[in-house]
């Protein structure tokens, strides 16, 4: 690909590497191996994708269901088929004209059970700081008496010893041989040489690790982990030796042509994301690389990141919310208030409360460590000594709560970019409003330290602790955002739960086609090869579930009446402990997952609600379940899905909103597949999939049924159901992208809104060198169109020439066209220009 004048070179792909035109994400596991995927390659090729996008393939912890808990960077998972199986898949894909994109995890490894599955970690626990792998893990050897905290015990260590639950055994450890070990149920830990003859209590104390009650982790953990997940230990890929060791196999696969591009998991957790991506770009020779980066609000990808773009969460929420009716915000806010007491403008307060709970609880150990570092810096400088530990802690807590994005990007020893300075200063200004005046000077000192400025005695800008404070604060910001917003506040806020999505902006409620077009125009210049998506393995709800819930905004008054009917119907079995937030979440979930025939399966609903309640952390939690409360909620849910009257009400709502759901389902999909970027289809979502949060969204996909449906449509059968229509839209859009890549990912591709007379259409063209080649017309807010009696005389101005609608296989003239004619058969149109 040649460089355009306006797109930075670091956002492009170096020849001869291929640019994906579209990807199809598959979630590998014991039930979907490389050979299984290879057998499906003909279907993927027929669908029209250009690359198959694989979940992580390196050997993961035993029983892993997702692959993000890597234990060995030198081995392709035998469970999936090993490297030979991966190469067989690559051969099958390449023979069919497809490439492979691989998801990799640079930020962390698993702490598996037993630990010996992670040979590097086993070595560290065996030899401590003397281990050749000691630099791999982000361990604070100065804390915890120089021992790595292993919080795996079900009770305090004294009780465990008293019950003889900890035993010294001879263990056959793969790669090590027979050796002395400490066994605690399924957990096995190495024994430091020369300590095996000691009394058990003394032996336990003499190890390079400290066995502890699992609840100790949040308060005394001395290794950096992935967010608050103690079984995922962070690794230090900023160290060139660690980078080389953990990327050697992946880069060899890339050089050998087995894989063609990379998706990078959570780079914000790294010490230096920019440095990592620069090193990776050179090592990968400029291949296509995208990053899982959540951009808050109008945040842009850092200009110095060597990446084609993000994985598309900023596209997801903008596309979805362009199909949400802003007129529904106020009435739906009233419904929420009746249930929960929350008011429509309270989202920021809900977020602040959730983040504060996370900072004071699961992430206390991280905040405590930050405070210690900053306090040591101040204590050793006479001019800063009166800034006390407590004042620093209060300032850090408020700054973390006030921070409105995943992190700032400040590199020790480098002058912070003005936009990053502004981000930190704005957060500090918000934090100061919550602090007494006597803390404001401490806040100023803290901000200067976090920006690497000279503060305190003259000339003091850098030392190891100042550098560590800068890096560790940024890494902690991301954990607070992820756990406080996505995994807490998003389960509490019920205004319209479809908006509470990874990377989402629920306080925006709805966006306009103009907003979407402005973003798309920027994306076409800034990151035209980034990814777009509507569903991932991490989304809180699948795209089709969100579309069904989003329609509530189009029919808020009718929705209000429906929920009152549902409440009256369920009154006999709704227990007193059922709170308004959870009840309102239940009703929206049932509507979003009703397939036209029956409610969601009871087991799936129970699993989802259990996770939602515990993530919300309002009345129950993973670490402290309230069984009585949970049983009240789950009993109400079970009774509701079995209640004939509830089923009848849901069926009536489904029939009433069918056309709105149809328009939103097809419209969001067509837009996602045609706006700037590399379009991703998550497995199975070429037809409606009414999924919820993981593991629900990782259920097996019936590829044979999908292939049969596609074959029927290709044989000339007309679409009879919404599933047929979504398959038609997806396959025809993907094939058009494949056959006309220059209009979507080419160096001269462009995006141009088209004139239209109705705010209920979303229209634009994809161009090549300024010439329109593809036109898209979609219905938005179909209920409003219905209330207005149809499209009347509304028009869309197509560029001149002759067009062909690939969805309905008919010619369409250029010029001003009636919307009612264009959308006579489907609520969307995909037009390709007939070239002379």
List, as one string, the DSSP characters of 495-538. Answer: SSGGG--TT--GGG----HHHHHHHHHHHHHH-TTSEE-S--TT
Asked if residue 755 lies in contact with residue 796, where contact means CB atoms within 8 angstroms, the answer is yes
The mean pLDDT value for 397-421 works out to: 95
User: For residue 662, what pLDDT is reported?
Assistant: 98
Side by side, the strands of the sheet bearing 678-682 are: 309-310, 288-291, 261-264, 99-104, 51-54, 22-26, 678-682, 531-532
Report DSSP state, residue 767.
E
pLDDT level of residue 1 (50, 70, 90 thresholds): very low
What is the DSSP secondary-structure string of 704-761? HHHHHHHHHHHTTPPP-SHHHHHHHHHHHHHHHHHH-GGGTTSTTEEEEE--BS-TTE
Bond prior to 329 in cis (omega within 30° of 0): no
Phi and psi for 150 in degrees, rounded to 5? Answer: -120, 90
Q: How far apart are CA 58 and CA 36, in angstroms?
A: 17
pLDDT in tens, 631-655: 999 999 999 999 999 999 999 999 9
Report the range of poorest mean pLDDT among 2-11, 466-475, 516-525: 2-11
- Residue environment code for 58-68, b if the CB has 16+ CB neighbours within 10 A, otherwise e: bbbbeebebbb
Asked if residue 734 lies in contact with residue 807, where contact means CB atoms within 8 angstroms, the answer is no
Asked if residue 553 lies in contact with residue 324, where contact means CB atoms within 8 angstroms, the answer is yes
Q: How far apart are CA 112 and CA 230, in angstroms?
A: 10
Asked if residue 214 lies in contact with residue 175, where contact means CB atoms within 8 angstroms, the answer is no
pLDDT at 690 over 60: yes
pLDDT level of residue 558 (50, 70, 90 thresholds): very high
Report the range of poorest mean pLDDT among 224-228, 329-333, 453-457, 728-732: 224-228
Nearest to 462 by CA among 452, 470, 472, 471: 452
pLDDT in tens, 43-73: 999 999 999 999 999 999 999 999 999 999 9
Helix, strand, coil % (nearest 5) of the chain? 50, 15, 35
The mean pLDDT value for 74-86 works out to: 98
Would you say the C-alpha torsion 479, 483, 484, 486 has a positive or negative sign? positive
Asked if residue 531 lies in contact with residue 680, where contact means CB atoms within 8 angstroms, the answer is yes
Residues 6+ positions from 100 with CB-CB distance below 8 Å: 51, 52, 53, 54, 89, 90, 93, 258, 259, 260, 261
User: For residue 322, what pLDDT is reported?
Assistant: 98
User: For residue 183, what pLDDT is reported?
Assistant: 97
pLDDT in tens, 413-429: 999 999 999 999 999 99
User: For residue 218, what pLDDT is reported?
Assistant: 86
pLDDT in tens, 774-828: 999 999 999 999 999 999 999 999 999 999 999 999 999 999 999 999 999 999 9
pLDDT at 144 over 70: no
Q: How far apart are CA 494 and CA 516, in angstroms?
A: 24
Phi and psi for 817 in degrees, rounded to 5? Answer: -125, 145
Burial class (CB in 10 A: 0-12, 13-18, 19+), 434: middle
Q: How far apart are CA 251 and CA 104, in angstroms?
A: 11
Strands of 265-346, DSSP E? 288-291, 309-310
The mean pLDDT value for 461-488 works out to: 95
H or E element at residue 264: strand 261-264
Q: How far apart are CA 581 and CA 350, in angstroms?
A: 12
- Residue 289's SS3 state is strand
User: For residue 4, what pLDDT is reported?
Assistant: 43
The mean pLDDT value for 454-462 works out to: 88
pTM beyond 0.85, yes or no: yes
- Residue 400's SS3 state is helix
The mean pLDDT value for 391-408 works out to: 97
Nearest to 453 by CA among 384, 394, 547: 384
Q: How far apart are CA 614 and CA 637, in angstroms?
A: 16
pLDDT in tens, 572-613: 999 999 999 999 999 999 999 999 999 999 999 999 999 999
pLDDT at 2 over 50: no
Q: How far apart are CA 454 and CA 462, in angstroms?
A: 8
Mean pLDDT for all residues in the chain: 96
Which domains can be identified in the chain, with CATH numbers? 19-107+237-311 (3.20.20.80), 115-234 (3.30.1590.10), 350-470 (no CATH)
pLDDT at 3 over 50: no
State how beta strands 209-213 and 148-153 pair. parallel
Q: Residues 82-91: contacts with CB within 8 Å, 24+ apart?
A: 85/33, 85/34, 85/35, 86/34, 86/57, 86/253, 86/258, 87/258, 88/34, 88/35, 88/38, 89/34, 89/35, 89/37, 89/38, 89/41, 89/52, 90/257, 90/258, 90/259
Burial class (CB in 10 A: 0-12, 13-18, 19+), 408: buried
Bond prior to 425 in cis (omega within 30° of 0): no
What is the DSSP secondary-structure string of 352-389? HHHHHHHHHTTTHHHHHHHHHHHHHHHHTSGGGTTS-H
User: For residue 836, what pLDDT is reported?
Assistant: 63
pLDDT level of residue 734 (50, 70, 90 thresholds): very high
User: For residue 459, what pLDDT is reported?
Assistant: 84
Q: How far apart are CA 79 and CA 75, in angstroms?
A: 11
Bridge partners (DSSP) listed for residue 209: 148
The mean pLDDT value for 218-240 works out to: 88
| Cα dihedral 745/749/755/761 (nearest 10) | 0
Please tell me which residue, 466 or 139, carries the higher pLDDT value: 466
pLDDT at 369 over 90: yes
Q: How far apart are CA 102 and CA 23, in angstroms?
A: 11
């Amino acid at each position: 690909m040649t460089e355009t004048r306006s797109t930075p070179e670091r956002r492009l792909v170096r020849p001869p590497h291929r640019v994906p035109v579209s990807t199809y994400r598959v979630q590998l596991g014991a039930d979907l191996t490389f050979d299984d995927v290879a057998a499906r390659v003909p279907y993927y090729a027929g669908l029209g994708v250009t690359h198959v996008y694989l979940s992580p393939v390196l050997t993961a912890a035993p029983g892993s269901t997702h692959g993000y808990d890597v234990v060995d960077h030198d081995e392709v998972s035998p469970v999936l088929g090993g490297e030979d199986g991966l190469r067989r898949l690559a051969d099958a894909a390449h023979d069919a004209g497809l490439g492979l994109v691989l998801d990799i995890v640079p930020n962390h490894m698993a702490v598996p059970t037993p630990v010996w599955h992670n040979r590097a970690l086993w070595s560290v626990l065996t030899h401590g700081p003397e281990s050749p792998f000691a630099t791999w893990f982000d361990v604070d050897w100065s804390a915890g008496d120089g021992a790595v905290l292993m919080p795996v015990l079900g009770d305090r260590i004294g009780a465990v010893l008293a019950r003889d639950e900890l035993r010294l055994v001879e263990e056959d450890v793969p790669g090590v041989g027979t050796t002395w070990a400490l066994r605690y149920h399924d957990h096995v830990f190495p024994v430091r040489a020369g300590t095996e003859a000691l009394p058990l209590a003394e032996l336990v104390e003499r190890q390079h690790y400290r066995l502890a009650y699992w609840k100790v982790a949040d308060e005394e953990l001395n290794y950096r982990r992935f967010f608050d997940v103690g079984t995922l230990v962070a690794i230090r890929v900023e160290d060139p030796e660690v980078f080389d060791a953990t990327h050697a196999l992946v880069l060899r696969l890339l050089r050998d042509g087995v894989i063609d591009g990379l998706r990078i998991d959570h780079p914000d957790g790294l010490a230096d994301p920019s440095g990592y991506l620069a090193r990776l770009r050179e090592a990968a020779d400029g291949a296509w690389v995208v990053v899982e980066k959540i951009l808050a609000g109008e945040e842009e990808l850092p200009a110095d990141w060597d990446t084609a773009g993000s994985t598309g969460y900023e596209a997801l929420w903008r596309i979805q919310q362009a199909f949400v009716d802003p007129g529904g915000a106020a009435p739906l806010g009233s419904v929420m208030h009746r249930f929960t007491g929350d008011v429509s403008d309270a989202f920021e307060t809900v977020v602040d409360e959730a983040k504060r709970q996370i900072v004071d609880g699961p992430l206390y150990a991280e905040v405590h460590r930050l405070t210690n570092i900053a306090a040591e810096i101040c204590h050793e400088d006479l001019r800063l000594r009166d800034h006390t530990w407590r004042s620093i802690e209060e300032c850090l807590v408020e700054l973390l709560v006030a921070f409105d994005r995943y992190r700032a990007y400040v590199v020790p020893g480098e002058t912070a970019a003005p936009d990053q300075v502004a981000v930190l200063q704005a957060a500090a200004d918000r934090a100061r409003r919550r602090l007494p005046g006597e803390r404001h000077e401490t806040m100023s000192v803290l901000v200067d330290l976090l920006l690497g400025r000279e503060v305190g005695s003259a000339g003091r800008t850098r030392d190891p602790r100042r550098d560590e404070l800068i890096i560790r604060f940024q890494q902690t910001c991301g954990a607070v955002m992820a756990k406080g917003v996505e995994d807490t506040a998003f389960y509490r806020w019920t205004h319209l739960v479809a908006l509470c999505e990874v990377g989402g902006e629920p306080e925006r409620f709805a966006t306009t086609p103009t907003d979407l077009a402005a973003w798309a125009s920027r994306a076409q210049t800034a990151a035209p090869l980034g990814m777009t998506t509507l569903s991932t393995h991490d989304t809180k709800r699948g795209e089709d579930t969100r579309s069904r819930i989003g329609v509530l905004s189009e029919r808020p008054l009718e929705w209000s009446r429906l929920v009152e009917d549902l409440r009256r119907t369920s009154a006999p079995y709704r227990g007193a402990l059922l709170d308004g937030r959870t009840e309102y979440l239940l009703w929206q979930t049932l509507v979003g997952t009703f397939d036209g025939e029956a409610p969601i399966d009871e087991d799936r609903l129970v699993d989802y609600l259990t996770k939602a309640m515990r993530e919300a952390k309002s009345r129950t939690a993973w670490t402290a379940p309230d069984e009585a409360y949970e049983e009240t909620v789950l009993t109400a849910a079970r009774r509701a899905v079995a209640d004939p009257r509830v089923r009848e009400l849901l069926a009536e709502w489904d029939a009433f909103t069918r056309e709105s759901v149809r328009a939103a389902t097809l419209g969001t999909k067509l837009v996602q597949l045609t706006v700037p970027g590399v379009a991703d289809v998550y497995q199975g979502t070429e037809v409606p999939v009414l999924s919820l949060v993981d593991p629900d969204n990782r259920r097996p996909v019936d590829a044979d049924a999908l292939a049969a449906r596609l074959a029927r449509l290709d044989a000339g059968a007309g679409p009879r159901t919404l599933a047929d229509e979504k398959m038609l839209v997806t396959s025809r859009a993907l094939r058009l992208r494949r056959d006309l890549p220059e209009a979507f990912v080419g160096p001269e591709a462009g995006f141009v809104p088209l004139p239209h007379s109705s705010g209920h259409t979303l229209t634009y063209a994809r161009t090549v060198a300024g010439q329109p080649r593809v036109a898209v017309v979609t219905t938005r807010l179909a209920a409003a169109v219905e209330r207005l009696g149809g499209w009347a005389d509304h028009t869309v101005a197509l560029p001149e020439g002759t067009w062909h609608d690939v969805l309905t296989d008919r010619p369409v003239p250029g010029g001003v066209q009636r919307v009612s004619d264009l959308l006579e058969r489907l609520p969307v149109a995909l037009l390709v220009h007939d070239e002379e």
